[in-house]
């Protein structure tokens, strides 16, 4: 089946799939190696370009990136390169043997063990730096472990990175929340040449409505960290219609008692839903009900109160407006809010790192912050994006950190 995929690929001279991949995966070259039976070389090429290739091949929004831009897709089925990538990169992780690297006497601290932090730790270790990876939680992965449901991304894949990091000589410091006892200043005093901040955006956005503190109202990104800790009851209502809302709804339907219901409330029209199309289809197939054009106005112990939203197409675009005369009450034993997230902020305490109005770390496209020796990338800089974008950004910054450390040394 996989050879059927590679033989259909046109190996375009100007591949649109590569152009639309945030990390520019050399898809045609990998396909060629795969067809020639050079699986190991193909997998090495993928890992060198994107150490998280095994993860991206599973969780990337392929319809927006490679697959969505395949020229064959205009008239027939696009090439599903990610299936070949999944096979090659998954196998490669189990076989990975790090090269022998002479270590430089330069230490770099990486704060946050999500996709950006893992990418940075691998790349800097391969460049010979001594890396300490500091993570607030007890395991690596960030959203890969504490957000994306296991049924979408097997944890076994995330675990494999743990052993790769160890074999590369990365020192992992679990349960270490930076910005509390340890600050960025302390790290420089202890001789770190550079610090890379990759703390993501784990703070849920508030809806700002009455009822948000009630005992049956939760935030999706908190719920996803440990769904088994919650007693949701029979009727669950998820407010939001993006990918995080979909994950929360799909996990909830697996955890509630038989006969229970999960309803998602979307304040826009069906076409306006921001969640990936195939995730929406999967959610509906699993029995999740999605109601559109309802704006939540109040959260109560047994209901979510909403008003209707009207939609009008005008010359300048689509206009949504609440109609406060049309009230709907949706029964709910528990309510999960998924309306975006932002940075926690603590990591830059006691430093002169500038932040944006949204509290994100201000960094240029190469990850330089306003503070000398402090770099940043991933969601903490861009706001919530995707795994592959966090990897692509971290990759760029790894080169900058290398340059900075070597220049500073001489
Ligand atoms: C529920 C959910 C589902 C998603 N699904 C997808 C998907 O299917 N596909 C996709 O491409 N993207 C998806 N995303 C987005 C993607 O996961 C993120 O864009 C990506 O994880 C960002 O990587 P990061 O390294 O910047 O941050 P994170 O993954 O958030 O990692 C940050 C890490 O820093 C740690 N940390 C935070 N503060 C501190 C501190 N002060 N000290 C020490 N450590 C700290 C955190 O514990 C965490 O481990 C999803 C996001 C969510 C929330």
Among residues 65, 95, 125, the one where a domain terminates is 95
Tell me the CA–centroid distance for residue 117 and ligand 1, in Å.
10
Domain shared by 228 and 271, yes or no: yes
- pLDDT(323) > 70: yes
Q: Is residue 101 part of a domain?
A: no
Domain shared by 277 and 186, yes or no: no
Nearest 5°: phi and psi at 243?
-70, -35
Domain shared by 197 and 346, yes or no: yes
Confidence of residue 408 (pLDDT cuts 50, 70, 90): low
**Atom 38 (ligand 1) nearest CA:** 199
Tell me the CA–centroid distance for residue 55 and ligand 1, in Å.
13
Residue numbers of the domain that contains 242: 206-337
pLDDT tens digits, 364-393? 999 999 999 999 999 999 999 999 999 999
pLDDT tens digits, 65-81? 999 999 999 888 999 99
Domain shared by 132 and 215, yes or no: no
Instruction: Give the CATH number of the domain where residue 71 resides.
Output: 1.10.1060.10
Domain shared by 168 and 264, yes or no: no
- pLDDT(13) > 90: no
d(CA 170, CA 30): 29
Domain shared by 217 and 317, yes or no: yes
Among residues 304, 337, 370, the one where a domain terminates is 337
Tell me the CA–centroid distance for residue 255 and ligand 1, in Å.
23
Among residues 337, 361, 394, the one where a domain terminates is 337
Domain shared by 253 and 292, yes or no: yes
| The pLDDT of residue 385 | 96
Q: Is residue 102 part of a domain?
A: no
Instruction: Give the CATH number of the domain where residue 389 resides.
Output: 3.50.50.60
- pLDDT(54) > 80: yes
Q: Is residue 168 part of a domain?
A: yes
Tell me the CA–centroid distance for residue 73 and ligand 1, in Å.
31
| The pLDDT of residue 318 | 85
| The pLDDT of residue 409 | 56
Half-sphere exposure in the Cβ direction for 408 (13 Å, CA): 16
Domain shared by 186 and 262, yes or no: no
| The pLDDT of residue 171 | 98
**Atom 13 (ligand 1) nearest CA:** 386
Q: Is residue 100 part of a domain?
A: no
Domain shared by 219 and 267, yes or no: yes
| The pLDDT of residue 7 | 84
d(CA 351, CA 336): 35
**Atom 39 (ligand 1) nearest CA:** 199
Which residues partner with 208 through β-bridges? Answer: none
Task: Say which residues have a Cβ less than 8 Å from residue 36's Cβ, sequence separation at least 6.
Answer: none
Closest-CA residue to 115 (of 83, 155, 161) = 161
- Ligand 1 atom closest to the Cα of residue 224 is 1
| The pLDDT of residue 365 | 96
Which residues sit with their C-beta closer than 6 Å to ligand 1? 59-60, 111-117, 134-137, 142-143, 147-148, 177-179, 198-200, 202, 221, 224, 243-244, 247, 344, 346-347, 378-380, 384-388, 390
Q: How confident is the model over 37-59, as a mean pLDDT?
A: 97
**Atom 20 (ligand 1) nearest CA:** 387
Q: Is residue 386 part of a domain?
A: yes
- pLDDT(313) > 90: no
Domain count, the chain: 3
- pLDDT(410) > 60: no
Domain shared by 13 and 45, yes or no: yes
Domain shared by 125 and 183, yes or no: yes
Domain shared by 220 and 320, yes or no: yes
Nearest 5°: phi and psi at 131?
-110, 130
Tell me the CA–centroid distance for residue 145 and ligand 1, in Å.
9
Q: Is residue 322 part of a domain?
A: yes
| The pLDDT of residue 392 | 98
Question: What is the pTM for the complete model shown?
Answer: 0.95
Closest-CA residue to 262 (of 250, 276, 244) = 250
């Amino acid at each position: 089946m996989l050879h059927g995929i590679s033989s259909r690929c046109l190996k375009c001279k100007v591949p649109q799939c590569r152009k639309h991949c945030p990390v520019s995966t050399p898809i045609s070259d990998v396909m060629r190696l795969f067809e020639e039976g050079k699986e190991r070389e193909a997998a090495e090429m993928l890992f060198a370009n994107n150490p998280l290739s095994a993860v991206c091949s599973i969780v990337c929004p392929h319809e927006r990136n490679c697959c969505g831009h395949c020229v064959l897709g205009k008239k027939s089925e696009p090439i599903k390169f990610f299936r070949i990538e999944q096979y090659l990169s998954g196998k490669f992780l189990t076989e990975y043997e790090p090269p022998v690297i002479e270590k430089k006497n330069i230490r770099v601290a990486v704060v946050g063990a999500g996709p950006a932090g893992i990418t940075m730790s691998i790349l800097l270790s391969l460049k010979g730096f001594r890396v300490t990876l500091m993570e607030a939680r007890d395991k690596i992965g960030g959203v890969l472990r504490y957000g994306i449901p296991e049924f979408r991304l097997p944890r076994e894949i995330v675990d494999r990175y743990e052993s790769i990091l160890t074999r590369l000589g990365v020192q992992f410091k679990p349960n270490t929340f930076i910005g509390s006892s340890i600050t960025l200043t302390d790290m420089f005093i202890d001789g770190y040449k550079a610090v890379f901040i990759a703390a993501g955006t784990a703070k849920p956005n508030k809806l700002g409505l009455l009822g948000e503190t009630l005992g049956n109202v939760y935030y999706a990104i908190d719920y996803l960290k440990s769904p088994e800790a919650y007693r949701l009851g029979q009727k669950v209502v998820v407010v939001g219609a993006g990918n995080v809302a979909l994950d929360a709804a799909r996990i909830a339907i697996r955890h509630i008692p038989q006969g229970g219901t999960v309803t998602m409330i979307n304040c826009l029209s069906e076409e306006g839903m921001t969640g990936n199309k195939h995730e929406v289809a999967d959610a509906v197939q699993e029995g999740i009900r999605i109601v559109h054009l309802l704006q939540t106005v109040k959260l109560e112990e047994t209901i979510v109160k909403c008003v209707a939203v009207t939609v009008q197409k005008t010359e300048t675009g689509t206009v949504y407006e609440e109609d406060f005369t049309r009230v709907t009450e949706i029964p709910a034993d528990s309510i999960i809010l998924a309306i975006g997230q932002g940075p926690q902020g603590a990591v830059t305490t006691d430093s002169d790192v500038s932040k944006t109005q949204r509290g994100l770390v201000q960094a240029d496209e190469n990850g330089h912050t306003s503070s000398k020796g402090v770099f940043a990338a991933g969601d903490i800089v861009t706001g919530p994006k995707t795994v592959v974008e966090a990897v692509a950004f971290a990759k760029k910054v790894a080169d900058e950190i290398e340059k900075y450390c070597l220049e500073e040394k001489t």
